[in-house]
Amino acid sequence: MTGFRLAQGGLVDRASPVKFHFDGKAYTGFAGDTLASALLASGVKLVGRSFKYHLPRGVFASGSEEPNALVELRAGAWREPNTRATMAEIFEGLEAASQNRGPSLKYDPLAVNNLLSPFLSAGFYYKTFMWPASFWEKLYEPMIRRAAGLGRNAGLPDPDIYEKTTEFCDVLVIGAGAEGIEAATQAAATGQRVILCDENAPLVPIDLPAGVEFLARTTVFGVYDGGTYAALQRLTDHLPSSNAPRQRLVRIVAGRSVLATGALERPIAFGNNDLPGVMLSRAVGDYVTRYGVAPGRNILLYLNNDDAAGLIPVLHQAGVNIAGVVDARPASSDVVHEAARAANAPVYAGAAIIRATGWQGVSGAKIRLAKGGDLALPCDIIAVSGGFNPNLALTSHFDGKPVWDAAIAAFVPGSLPPCMSVVGKAAGQGLNANIQPVFHSGFFPGKSFLDLQNDVTVKDVKLAEQEGFAAVEHLKRYTTLGMATDQGKTSNVNAIGVLAQTLGKGIGETGTTRFRPPYVPVAIGALAGAHTGKEFKPTRLTPTHEWAAGLGAVFVETGLWLRAQYFPKPGEDWLAAAQREVNAVRNAVGICDVTTLGKIDIQGPDAAIFLERVYTNSWANLPVGKVRYGLMLREDGFVMDDGTTARLGETHFVMTTTTANAARVMQHLEFCAQVIWKELDVSLISVTDQWGQIAVAGPKSAATLAKIVDSPFDLSDEAFPYMACMELTVCGGVPARLFRISFSGERAYELAVPSRQADALARALMQAGAEFGIAPYGTEALGIMRIEKGHPAGPELNGQTSAHDLGMGKLLSKKKEFIGRAMAARPALTAPIRQTLVGLRPVNPQDIIRAGSHLLPVGAPAVAASDQGHVTSAARSPTLGSIALALLENGPARHGETLRVYDPLRGGDFTAIVTHPVHLDPEGHRLHA
Amino acid sequence: MRITCPHCGNRGLEEFTYTQDAERTRPTDGGATPTPEWADYIYLRDNLKGPRKEYWYHSAGCHAWLIVERDVSTHEILSVRLP
């Protein structure tokens, strides 16, 4: 027999063989096997190398607490390191590889670290790599990075798909052992909705009543506020790679929870206890009963409690020889004696294992007998049990501190998260019969491991204590004990036990560390879910997006929106296209989708009073059918936003906000209406998405619109002057709103139609304006024209500018209450030294001013102390050349002055003349052209 | 964390936006005069431990402003009401 698969027994499907590869070699297991059980069945004991010393390691446990058997699964971009072989179900074609090793698993040159171990003791980073400082970056860090760490990242984008969902239930039961199934069944019997989660897939179907939703392969890894639990459901990790989602992050909202996670076994430390073949006793039993695999043929048991004696009949019935039972208790117990007698196994009461012997695997053990004297026992597996620890990690996610129960020599749950109860072994019930706590056999001077994953030994703990790191939390950080991917599930309690012995204190006094989420490692991809790449945030498209795309528009992201930036014709770059678009608007007519501006519908008897209070300027006197520009401050007196608001009726207004501030202004207005002035009868709703709005600008705008506006609506200047608005129909009955407002400085209109009609409207306008040379324009042309007109926008409304700074001090009414009124009156907000809005033109027309450049007095040194302001917005006007807006100290008094424009980042250094911010048509004649 | 909106029921934290504490009283309008009361209201915060009243905005829900009483050291929600 070359394999270790038993002739019968286990719950795997022996009719379904599964082929897989480990380190390139082909193996066969059965459906239902984990990688660990299949490798053990094939006689593979060496599965990895340890973190620090690169010592050979084998399978130690049978569940998610596994510290040793970490492997890389799959290949290429799918490669995932640090997967526990005990949790990986095999499937046809699975490729697995050992990790953290040299060229081959058997011969690892870095195992020399083991000889250097006197230098790699507790705190070795802090002690060893101290000087000279210059060595750190060049030598120490690259060396440590190469030698340390576990598996290799794929180094490629994660090709898998992940999902996130939220589930609701009355009762969440965590753990589908007998206790969990019982709790779920009872809760369902009272009509409650139950979710039952288990880390593993059941090897036999579980019989559950209706009302219980069972999530297999689902680990609850965190407990959060308000009865919220985070769980990771592994959907296809047990299947060959496909396009199906790999894992699902399930947020479970539960009225209450029942923790039925059982207990995890802890070992007893002894010399060379990290050799492949040293395993937890229950894991050995699991491999026999679940998988029909005997991890060895001659197994030595080392225990200090009666629970572990259950392994004896299991092995005996499976026909596995028991080399002996080393019982740390002086008299052993009847339970052990009887079981051993039935199995013809010798019992060594009051004995201890000094060390395991063997090269790359256990071949025997040296034991110290109770009456003195040593004995060498041949064996191929040492099954060890130092007792069981309630699996209580989730109970301390709410700051609950486990408490030591001396009667069972284990930590049991302390204060629990709200609405959680703990049942069965997780609560410490029925655990550790007749235990006599032993954490370390104590006779071996060399390495006895506590934390197998981070290579922390008994000696390291003692050394840390000597060096002053005697508090549990200090010990953890100094030695890295319990800080590996297994979070010390099999090592923490033993380390505390050894520390307590060293300190001569009780374990309860010595204390424990608290567990934090996540209970198991969680892939970042699962936390991200679908929110990766372009799906990281939503993309908002304007209603004319397809129309613009059809014209070859280049789009730009503005917040969440994608807006047409410019519409290039063949051979045009962005500047040529934008300048052509500006010329079309200035000389004929252009159209631009302005849907992205925030639109807020404001209605109610007190709507006008409301606007009086949120805007700085006067609103009560605005006639129906008119539009007005409004300025809004924050409570601290600085400018928040601006825009136009139209009065459609006595009690009905439509406000526009800037694109960037739409959501912020909505939130602010809701606060004003619901909190500050809740006595006002006013209602608000965002209608940004409901109305598609298109600007029609240029001297031919009225002529273009006239062709699509239905009769009898009148666009003449007498009937519909500048700053007028009306509700009307266009294109034969489409309801619309028309506003005669202008951002470009030309005669212009903005026409709003229900969003689904906006695309057709854009096409109709293009047709109507064709005879005038109509052109669509994008945000670049829009920007050039608003800078030509000196309108402040995002770069000027930067949250640090006051109305005075923007030249709008006159808009602060002196006759009424408004948000920001008191604080805007602070003298510092109107001081002349403040940086205020000006225009800028280069002295030499060849120079191009760039936004972000700093403004210095001519001849002053380019240092921060000379800085007097900066360029906020810059444009290349087709008619004026390089122009800019800037914020400049005492700006209005300095028109005509020459300044140094300094841009060290991009190499700009030239002079420019300060001007009025309105570069074009300051009298506003073009609005009526 | 979960908040029970009086309009929408029990909802997850991600639907809400915290803005400011609701312990302070906004001064009444006293004209264009920057009084110390205004400065206190805008700039001073107590940052105390224990139950605190806070303004939360149901931004991804009904847009209601809520006064949420929350123990800031345990995240326990003690009460939720409309202003």
All domains of chain B, ordered by start, with CATH?
Answer: 2-24+36-81 (3.30.2270.10)
Cis ω for the linkage preceding A518 (within 30 of 0): yes
Alpha-helical runs (H) found in B19-76: 36-43
Burial class (CB in 10 A: 0-12, 13-18, 19+), A718: exposed
Question: B12 and A251 in contact by Cβ < 8 A?
Answer: yes
Distance CA A63, CA A88 (A): 10
Q: What is the pLDDT of residue A705?
A: 98
Does A636 lie at the interface with B, CB-CB under 8 angstroms? yes
| Residue in B closest to A398 by C-alpha | B74
What is the distance between the alpha carbons of residues A496 and A498, in angstroms, rounded to a whole number? 5
pLDDT-based confidence at A54, cuts 50/70/90?
Answer: confident
Question: CB–CB of B42 and A635 under 8 A?
Answer: yes
Please give the helix or strand (H or E) that residue A283 lies within, else none. Answer: helix A281-291
Give A856: exposed, middle or buried? Use CB within 10 Å, 0-12, 13-18, 19+: buried
Mutate to test the interface with B, among A168, A225, A677 (most CBs of B within 10 A): A225
User: What's residue A75's pLDDT?
Assistant: 87
Q: Which of A86, A83, A116 is nearest to A100 (CA)?
A: A83
**Closest-CA residue of chain A to B72:** A225
A136 has pLDDT over 80: no
Contacting residues of A for B17, CB less than 8 Å apart:
667
What one-character-per-residue DSSP string does A35-97 give? HHHHHHHTT----EE-TTT--EE----SSTT-SS-EEEESSGGG-EEEEETTT-B--TTEEEE
Task: Round to whole Å and give the CA distance between A666 and A519.
Answer: 41
Residues 402-421 of A with CB under 8 A from B: 418
Weakest mean pLDDT among A40-54, A225-239, A902-916, B36-50: A40-54
> Are the C-beta atoms of residues A876 and A882 closer than 8 Å to each other?
yes
Cβ distance B41 to A635 less than 8 Å, yes or no, reads yes
Q: Do A670 and B63 touch (CB under 8 A)?
A: yes
Contact A817 B29 (CB under 8 A): yes
For position A155, what pLDDT does the model report?
85
Euclidean distance between CA atoms A749 and A739, whole angstroms: 6
Name the A residues in 131-170 with CB < 8 Å from any B CB.
Answer: 166
Search chain A and give the residue with CA nearest B29.
A817
Say whether residue B34 is in contact with chain A using an 8 A CB cutoff: yes
Chain-chain contact of B1 with A636 (C-beta, under 8 angstroms)? no
Question: What was the pLDDT predicted at A139?
Answer: 66
Contact A363, A381 (CB under 8 A): no
Which residues in chain B are closer than 8 Å to A635, comparing Cβ atoms?
A: 41-42
Q: Residue A903 pLDDT more than 60?
A: yes
Residue of A225, A667, A826 lying closest to B59 (CB–CB): A667
With an 8 Å Cβ cutoff, are A821 and B31 in contact?
yes
Cα(A48)–Cα(A452) distance, rounded to whole angstroms? Answer: 12
Burial class of A661 by CB neighbour count within 10 A (0 to 12, 13 to 18, 19+): buried
pLDDT in tens, A775-829: 999 999 999 999 999 999 999 999 999 999 999 999 999 999 999 999 999 999 9
Residue A466 in contact with partner chain B when CB distance is under 8 A: no
Which of B10, B35, B42 lies nearest to residue A636, judging by beta carbons? B42
Mean pLDDT within A287-310? 96
A780: three-class secondary structure by DSSP: helix
- Interface test mutation site (partner B, options A399, A602, A667, A811, max chain B beta carbons within 10 A): A667
Q: Are strands A403-405 and A321-327 parallel, antiparallel or unpaired?
A: unpaired
| pLDDT (tens digit per residue) in A552-577 | 999 999 999 999 999 999 999 999 99
DSSP string, A100-156: S-SSSSS--GGGGGGTTGGGSSTTHHHHHS-S-HHHIIIIIHHHHHHHSSSS----S
Compute the distance between CA of residue A643 and CA of residue A649 in angstroms, rounded to an integer: 19
Which residue reads 């508090």 in tokens?
A471
Hey, what domains does chain A have and what are their CATH numbers? 13-114 (3.10.20.440), 160-259+391-430 (3.50.50.60), 265-387+433-446 (3.50.50.60), 448-513 (1.10.10.1100), 549-596+690-785 (3.30.1360.120), 598-686 (3.30.70.1400), 832-928 (2.40.30.110)
- pLDDT, tens only, A140-159: 666 665 555 567 778 898 89
The pTM (predicted TM-score) of the whole model is 0.88
Mean pLDDT of A643-663: 96
Q: Looking at beta carbons, which residues of chain A come within 8 Å of B64?
A: 674
**Number of neighbours of residue A143 by Cβ within 10 angstroms:** 12
pLDDT of residue A286: 97
Which residues of A are less than 8 Å from B27 in CB distance? 822
Integer Cα distance of A667 and A670 in angstroms: 5
Give the chain A residue whose CA is nearest to the CA of B42.
Answer: A636
Most confident of A167-171, A468-472, A473-477, A478-482: A167-171
What single string gives the DSSP state of each residue in A477-525?
A: HHH-TT-STTTTTTTHHHHHHHHHHHHT--HHHH--PPP-S-SS---HH
**Which of B1, B38, B82 is opposite residue A226, by nearest beta carbon?**
B1
- State how far the Cα of A746 lies from the Cα of A766, in Å rounded to an integer: 18
Predicted local confidence at residue A399, as pLDDT: 87
Within an 8 Å CB–CB cutoff, is residue A666 touching chain B? yes
State the first-to-last Cα distance of chain B, in angstroms, to the nearest integer: 21
Residues in chain B with CB shorter than 8 Å from the CB of A224 are 1
pLDDT in tens, A240-269: 988 899 999 999 999 999 999 999 999 999
CA dist., res. A774 & res. A585, Å (int): 8
Locus of tokens 């002349």: A832
Pairwise CA distance, residues A617 & A240, whole Å: 67
The neighbour count for residue A107, using CB atoms within 10 Å, is 9
Cβ-Cβ contacts under 8 Å between A and B: the total is 71
Q: How far apart are CA A463 and CA A121, in angstroms?
A: 8
pLDDT bin (cut points 50, 70, 90) of residue A486 is confident
| Helical axes A458-466 vs A472-479, angle rounded to 10° | 120
CA distance A554 to A429: 68
- Mind telling me how many Å the CA of A226 is from chain B's nearest CA? 5
Low-confidence winner among A77-81, A316-320, A447-451, A620-624 (lowest mean pLDDT)? A77-81
The residue type found at A490 is T
Interface ipTM above 0.85: yes
**Hey, are the CB atoms on B75 and A225 less than 8 Å from each other?**
yes
Which range is least confidently modeled, A82-86, A115-119, A456-460, A906-910? A115-119
Residues A754-777 pLDDT 10s: 999 999 999 999 999 999 999 999
**Which positions in chain B touch A823 (Cβ < 8 Å)?**
34, 38-39, 42
| B61 residue type, one letter | G
Place of tokens 């312990």: B23
The verdict on B36 touching A (C-beta cutoff 8 Å) is: no
Name the minimum distance, in Å, from the CA of A403 to any CA of chain B.
21
Does any CB of chain A come closer than 8 Å to the CB of residue B80? no
pLDDT at A1: 37
Minimal C-alpha gap between B82 and chain A (Å): 8
Please give the residue of chain A at the shortest CA–CA distance from B35. Answer: A822
Which residue from A418, A674, A823 is facing B38, i.e. has the nearest CB?
A823
DSSP 8-state class, residue B8 = T
Helix axes A472-479, A492-503, angle to 10 degrees: 120
Picking from A476, A472, A519, the residue whose alpha carbon sits closest to that of residue A500 is A472
CA angle A513/A515/A518 to nearest 5° reads 155
Q: Do B34 and A667 touch (CB under 8 A)?
A: no
pLDDT digits (tens, 9 = 90+) for A708-758: 999 999 999 999 999 999 999 999 999 999 999 999 999 999 999 999 999
Contact between chains at B65 and A228 (C-beta distance less than 8 A): no
What is the β-pairing status of strands A94-98 and A162-174? unpaired
Whole-number Å distance between alpha carbons of A648 and A669? 19
Contact A322, A316 (CB under 8 A): yes
Q: Chain A residues with CB inside 8 Å of B31's CB?
A: 821-822
**How far is it, in rounded angstroms, from Cα A688 to Cα A755?**
9
**Residue to substitute from A398, A638, A674, interface B, most B β-carbons within 10 A:** A674
Q: Which residues pair with A910 in a beta bridge?
A: A901
Give ∠ CA A296-A300-A301 in degrees, rounded to 5.
115
